[in-house]
Amino acid sequence: MSDPQEHTHIDSVGTYVKILLALLVATGVTTAVSRLDLGAFNTVVALSIASAKMLLVALFFMHIRHSNKLTKLVVVGGLLWLAILLLLTMTDFATRGIIGVPGK
Amino acid sequence: MADHAHTETLALRVQFDTEAQQKDASTLGMWIFLITEIMFFGGMFAVYTVYRNWYPEVFAIASSSLNEVIGALNTGVLLLSSFTMVMAVRAGQLGQRKAIVMFLILTLLFGGIFLGVKAYEWNEKFEEHHIPGQAAFHLEGVAPGDQGHAQLFFSIYFAMTGLHALHMVIGVGILLTLIVQANKGRFSASYYTPVDVAGLYWHFVDVIWIFLFPLLYLIDRHLGK
Amino acid sequence: MITAAAQEREHYLNASYGLKSWLLTKDHKRIGLLYLFTITLFFFIGGAFATLIRIELLTPQGNLVSSETYNKLFTMHAVAMIFFFLIPSIPAVLGNFFLPIMIGARDLAFPKLNLLSWYLLVIGGAFSLFAMIAGGVDTGWTFYTPYSTTYSNSWVIATALGIFIAGFSSILTGLNFIVTVHRMRAPGMTWFRMPLFVWANYATSLIQVLGTPVLAVTIVLLFVERVFHLGIFDPARGGDPVLFQHLFWFYSHPAVYIMVLPSMGVVSEIISTFSRKAIFGYRIVAFSSVAIAVLGFLVWGHHLFVSGQSLYAGMVFSFLSYFVAIPSAIKVFNWTATLYRGSISLQTPMLYAFGFIGLFTIGGLTGLFLAALGMDIHVTDTYFVVAHFHYIMVGGALMGYLGGMHFWWPKITGRMYPEGWAKLSALVIFLGFNLTFFPQFILGYLGMPRRYHLYPEEFQVLNVLSTAGASVLAVGYAIPMIYFIWSLRYGKVAPANPWGATGLEWKTSSPPPVHNFDETPVVTRGAYDYASLMAEEVEVG
């Protein structure tokens, strides 16, 4: 059948070096920003930068860029289930006491 | 029926028809394993989210007691190890046997440094009495009534970084095995699946740290000072 | 009795001999049988605890065992039955054996991993068994904190560790199945030609893979809190035990579907085979398995209605819980519609399938009562709940398992079981089951709480009925054990396709050869194409 070579995309060393540099810079930026007072946006910025770093690692180092649809579906599914876990748990913890319990 | 005999480099197992099918199955298997890992760490992220929302001030103070410069440098080391890992996979794709061994050793080295720094940081916690569950536990700047909440932060800190480190240790074990195999010349351009799949695992553990670093060290640390 | 030719034919059972050829096997069929021995052992261990519970409950006084011992009995009954029998039962035994054959594969994608899964179950089982022998565990199978982390003096860690290890067995089996279904299907075996048993196991695998890791980490957190005093759920430090319950039920509610979904798959196979018709609305039934798997993750909070969860969350989870009824009802309606004008033969597997449909319906409908916030507050932690989940897990999951064991026994062993005895035992099990658990609905509605061995005297009649039913049930389970073993030697030799069924597993010999097929099958038809099968028979005839 088909030669596995055919399906393999080999990225250049330059691409990987660029990604590494971007990751290192992002780490520096997120550390520096943590000293500023951005109010609620400290959390937003920190998690946005972390998500961007995750995307770089996943797309380039983990080759999701070149992966088939099934692999992408698996990854998205995993993140979706994580979201279910976090959101439905918070449905409880973020709403404690907003509706009074009769007799209490 | 597929041929039972397989050569040193072209290990085609009996249940598969083609090498492409075998490689596809291994990669898919690893990705599914990684989503189980997402859910495994997800449970701890849920714990973190709940308590951070409940006790933001104490968590900010506790966060700022961690050394963010060491944390950032260690993140850099781990990112470097991810880079060398992907270079090892690239060497596999190109069939450069010596380069595979070299990059795997570099990955092992950076992983080892990360774990060493982590051990140093943990040790610091013991010296500072930031160990939850111990009578001597005390976090500067937190009211006596809120010391329990500070303990929660450090419980989460130890649970998350501990399980992350455990995954690193497992990764180190995998790397050692691969180095031995690569040194024997097991891998080539047509068969480097173990390197590829181990790479996925290593990068995943890196991604977990990419989130642990801001969650534990950075968020709201300006409030704690 | 056995022709010389049949004796000489090599199959998976006689291809090699000796303990090593079993303990180091990579053959999914042999691994399926290893699982069969293991879970049968745990079924009898769990059954022994159940027996003691029912004997204790004969009288209103706690006169057989102490309260502490009683706590241990119901905990260990649940641990053995849930984690070491029901969860591995159909996927690991029948799924392992038949999933690859039904999609025309030579084995699972990762045979060594499959063997490892069995060893993990055995090691996990050994830890739990050790805990049982050393003194038992008394926290309830739910391990609620802070009792489990701080106060219980029983063998919490050993048991939890056993469940943690067995969890990895479950995860790896699920992973193996998913990859196998995606990557190992025979030429022509498209997704919508797959038997519904494969669909059901695929959906189950999704739950195993997505849910079990959360149980694993919850056990880890329990472990570090109990051993290292990291206070993740400790209320004294501002932690919340309800958070433990969230994490626990994130897995353990979907786990109910790990137990019952594969049974639904078995029932689809049986109903189709013994009414000689394609399953009505095949695609909808296939999708409903996946829908149950997905929806199962959105409803866990209905276990926390009275535990301090916010009322808003209670309403959200109550609302979401009703949605599970939709795919479940679709299955029941479509099975019933399949029977309509079918050529029905009432062989033993069909009796079990009917039992499943009836009992699962009762279990499912009473589940709706419990999903209703107001009703649930009345019956929380009463025998109503106990009856409800036994209708699902014993009436549903176990009936499906036994139905599947009878359906595929000829393929697994190459021998037929005695039909008369089998029908009798199916009937005895059905009657015994209802006599055991139906009175518990009434007891619960009247207010008898679960997990106590003392109860007011007015509940005695119903408890005696329940215990009597349990005795009948025990007899019902003993009969198949005896005739299955008997049939290995004395049963009629089974032909390749004793039921005239359409699945690929019936196209290979009984028992199957080592690599399942003499040559890789090419699939040209849907899973239940009885119409063209019968047309062919007419032509040939």
Residue C430 is part of a domain; what is its CATH number?
A: 1.20.210.10
Q: Which residue of C has its CA nearest to B148?
A: C237
Using pLDDT thresholds of 50, 70 and 90, give the confidence band for residue B225. low
pLDDT at B224: 73
Q: Which residue of A has its CA nearest to C299?
A: A88
DSSP string covering C293-351, please? HHHGGG-GGGG-TTTT--HHHHHHHHHHHGGGHHHHHHHHHHHHHHHTT------HHHH
Chain A residues touching residue C214 (CB < 8 angstroms): 85
Using pLDDT thresholds of 50, 70 and 90, give the confidence band for residue A75. very high
Residue C127 pLDDT greater than 90, yes or no: yes
Using pLDDT thresholds of 50, 70 and 90, give the confidence band for residue A103. low
> Looking at the domain assignment, is residue C6 inside a domain?
no
CA separation for the pair C387, C365 (Å, rounded): 12
> Looking at the domain assignment, is residue C323 inside a domain?
yes
So where are chain B's domains?
Answer: 19-224
- pLDDT-above-90 percentage for chain B: 86
CB-CB contact of C302 with C318 (8 Å): yes
Collapse the DSSP code of A8 into the 3-class scheme (helix H, G, I; strand E, B; otherwise coil) and give the result: coil
So where are chain A's domains?
Answer: 1-62, 68-96
Q: Provide Rg for chain B, Cα atoms.
A: 21
Interface contact B157, partner C, CB < 8 A? no
Task: Give the pLDDT confidence of C323-349 residue by residue, as tens digits.
Answer: 999 999 999 999 999 999 999 999 999
Nearest CB partner across the interface for A89, out of C246, C311, C312: C246
Tokens 């982390």, located at residue: C149
The b/e string for A16-52 (b: 16+ C-beta within 10 A; e otherwise) is: beebbeebbebbeebbebbeeeeeeebbebbbebbee
Number of domains composing chain C: 1
Residue range C222-249: mean pLDDT, rounded: 95
Contacts of B182 (CB under 8 A, 6+ apart): B97, B100, B101, B104, B195
CB-CB contact of C90 with C268 (8 Å): no
Residue C458 neighbours by CB distance under 10 Å: 10
Using pLDDT thresholds of 50, 70 and 90, give the confidence band for residue C1. very low
Task: Check residues C449 and B7 and name the one with the higher pLDDT.
Answer: C449
Q: Tell me if A89 and C243 make a contact (CB, 8 A cut-off).
A: yes
Q: Which residue of A has its CA nearest to B81?
A: A20
Task: Give the pLDDT confidence of B119-169 residue by residue, as tens digits.
Answer: 999 999 999 999 998 889 999 999 999 999 999 999 999 999 999 999 999
Chain A residues touching residue C210 (CB < 8 angstroms): 77-78, 81
Residues 9-48 of A with CB under 8 A from B: 10-11, 13, 16-17, 19-20, 23-24, 27-28, 30-31, 34-37, 42-43, 46-47
pLDDT at C7: 55
Tokens 């591995």, located at residue: C88
- How far is the CA of C510 from the CAs of C408, C495, C496, C501, in angstroms? 10, 6, 5, 13
Average of per-residue pLDDT values in chain C: 95
Q: Tell me if C309 and A81 make a contact (CB, 8 A cut-off).
A: no
Residue range C179-183: mean pLDDT, rounded: 97
Within 13 Å, how many C-alpha atoms sit on residue C421's CB side? 17
Helix axes C111-134 and C28-56, enclosed angle (nearest 10): 20
Q: Tell me if B28 and A70 make a contact (CB, 8 A cut-off).
A: yes
Residues 221-240 of C with CB under 8 A from B: 221, 224-225, 228-232, 234, 236-240
Specify the CATH superfamily of domain B19-224: Cytochrome c oxidase, subunit III, four-helix bundle (1.20.120.80)
Tell me, yes or no, if the pTM score tops 0.90.
yes
Best C183, C210, C298 residue to mutate vs chain A (most A CBs within 10 Å): C210
A89-A90-A95-A96 Cα dihedral, nearest 10 degrees: 60
* Structural domain of C439: 30-540
Contacts of B66 (CB under 8 A, 6+ apart): B121, B157, B216, B217
